[in-house]
Structure 1
Amino acid sequence: MAETLTKPIVEDVSLKDLKEGLADGSIVLVDVREPHEYAAGRIPGSTLNPLQSFNTEALPPPEPGKRIVFSCRSGRRSITALGFAQAAGRNDIRAHYPGGILGWEGAGEPVENVESEFGR
Structure 2
Amino acid sequence: MSLQELDPKDVFDRAQKGELVIIDVREPREFATERLHGASLHPLSTFDAKALPVDKTREVVLHCGSGKRSMDALNRCTAAGMPVTAHIKGGMMAWKAAGLPVITLDPATGAVIDPQAV
Question: If the TM-score is normalised by the length of the shorter chain, which range does it land in?
Answer: 0.7 to 0.9
Contact 1:43 1:104 in 2 (8 A): no
State the AA in 2 paired with 1:47: S
Alpha-carbon distance in structure 1 between the residues aligned to 2:66 and 2:76: 18
Structure 2 gaps, min length 5: 113-118
Deviation at 1:97, TM superposition (A): 0.3
Determine which structure has the larger strand proportion and give its number. 2
- In the superposition, the TM-score normalised over structure 1's length comes to 0.81
Of 63, 71, 77 in structure 2, the residue corresponding to residue 79 of structure 1 is 71
Structure 1 gaps, min length 5: 1-7
Give the SS at the match of 1:44: coil
Contact 2:9 2:98 in 1 (8 A): no
Contact 2:54 2:60 in 1 (8 A): no
Map 1:4-43 → 2, pairs under 5 A: 9-43=2-36
Contact 2:26 2:42 in 1 (8 A): yes
Of 54, 61, 65 in structure 2, the residue corresponding to residue 69 of structure 1 is 61
1:103 aligns with 2:97: no
Paired residue total? 108
The structure with higher relative contact order (CA 8 Å, sep 6+) is 1
- In the superposition, the TM-score normalised over structure 2's length comes to 0.83
Identity %: 37
Contact 1:32 1:71 in 2 (8 A): yes
Superposed CA RMSD: 1.9
Alpha-carbon distance in structure 2 between the residues aligned to 1:96 and 1:35: 19
1:113 aligns with 2:104: yes
Deviation at 1:45, TM superposition (A): 1.2
